Amino acid sequence: MNERRLWRESSHDLTGKIFRINWLFVLLLCALASVGYTALYSAAGGSPDPYATRHIVRFAVGLLLMLCIALIDIRFIARLSWLAYAGGVVLLILVLRVGHVGKGAQRWIDIGGQQIQPSELMKLALILALAAWFHRASWEKIGNPLFLLPAIVAVLVPVALILKEPNLGTAMITMMLGGALFFAAGVRWWKFVLVLLPVPFAARYAYHHLHDYQRARIDTFMNPESDPLGAGYNIIQSKIALGSGGFWGKGYLQGTQGHLDFLPEKQTDFIFTMIGEEFGLVGAVSVMTLLGLIIWSALAIGLRCKHQFGRLVAFGIACNFFFYCFVNIAMVMGVIPVGGVPLPLVSHGGSAMITMMVSFGVLMSVQVHRDVEFEGTDNER
């Protein structure tokens, strides 16, 4: 009888967790993945292979993984935060030693026959680690520089390892992600000002120590017409494609820049440009609206959470997604230098897709377990 009662209670608890999942958020993710499938189908010249089919299969696997993670108690995830961080650092060290080299960078490693990019996993691990560090901290602790020092080191270690690959774009996103979590935890604004003051003076020094291709990206950003057939080719073609789309676009599968192969990397970094060319301003704004709704929903999950760990995790995941979107879209518009950052759940690529879906699984766990209590909390505000 006792075993039957326990089984009924656990089944009821599981059913309750499933109902507490934010299914509207899941629907938004499915809509964004559908946009990706549509764009990748066009990028392959009107064929589901080789991009669109893989994209939707990866999303289906990621969706299942996300729903499974959503049912895991967020307190259990919190206990694993620093272990995940340590594993991420180990993977970043391994990729520097035995990783695959591609396009002048060493960023990928084989695990179980699958290629993964440890820098993507590291961002989620960093969010969890910083949330675990700050969620029990009082205002007095957060105001103590000695308390902040371990967290600062926790941010700088992966940033340094990612720069070593080299991967400047991801390193900068990781740094901004760490800064955003510091701000959300309650670190005073004037401390950020002190950190940022030397940046303009250090920029000139840093510029001369960049790799040649990184300096070329910055020079091209300042004056893309200086090398229209070389370093400036990508961004010039991207601007032509976006501009030619006009208000309504040229029509699905009718983009000339994309289908005549003038537009580079149209299935990855420049997929938003292809959407803008074929669906115009209306299509581009619609996609940005969908991205904005996902970000807003993630922030809303954090605001409804009763524990600081969940609030910080939700804020960090929302910021990570926002940085992805902002950097990719600003890059293809020529607002910032080209950095090789994909548009999440739209661009072709497995590592970023699975990592983002795992992140959303943790976010759903925050949603499902938003009312749980953490033991030993001393963060009275």
Task: Say what the pLDDT of residue 319 is.
Answer: 96
**48-62, 115-129, 186-200, 288-302: which range is least confident on average?**
186-200
Q: Using 50, 70 and 90 to split pLDDT, how confident is the model at 251?
A: very high
pLDDT band at 6 (very low <50, low <70, confident <90, very high): very low
Q: CB-based contacts of 71: which residues, under 8 Å, 6+ apart?
A: 14, 17, 18, 365, 368
Query: pTM (2 decimals)?
Result: 0.89
* High-pLDDT (> 90) share of the chain, %: 52
Residue 11 has pLDDT above 50, yes or no: no
Report which residue type is found at 267.
Answer: Q
Give the rounded distance of the alpha carbon of 369 from its chain centre: 23
What pLDDT is attached to residue 171? 87
- Mean pLDDT (the chain) is 85
Helix (H, G, I), strand (E, B) or coil at 110: strand
- As a whole number, mean pLDDT of residues 198-214 equals 64
The residues spanned by each domain of the chain are 24-368
Contact 119, 108 (CB under 8 A): no
Q: 23-32, 92-101, 358-367, 369-378: which has the minimum mean pLDDT?
A: 369-378
| Residue 67: pLDDT over 80 | yes
- Give 225 or 299, the one with higher predicted confidence: 299
Structure tokens at 34: 């559908």
Per the CB < 8 A criterion, the answer to whether 173 and 324 are in contact is: yes
pLDDT band at 224 (very low <50, low <70, confident <90, very high): low
The answer to whether 43 and 267 have CB atoms below 8 angstroms apart is: yes
Residue 136 has pLDDT above 90, yes or no: no
Report whether 346 contacts 29 (CB < 8 A).
no
Task: Quote the pLDDT of residue 80.
Answer: 95
Token pair, residue 79, equals: 């206990």
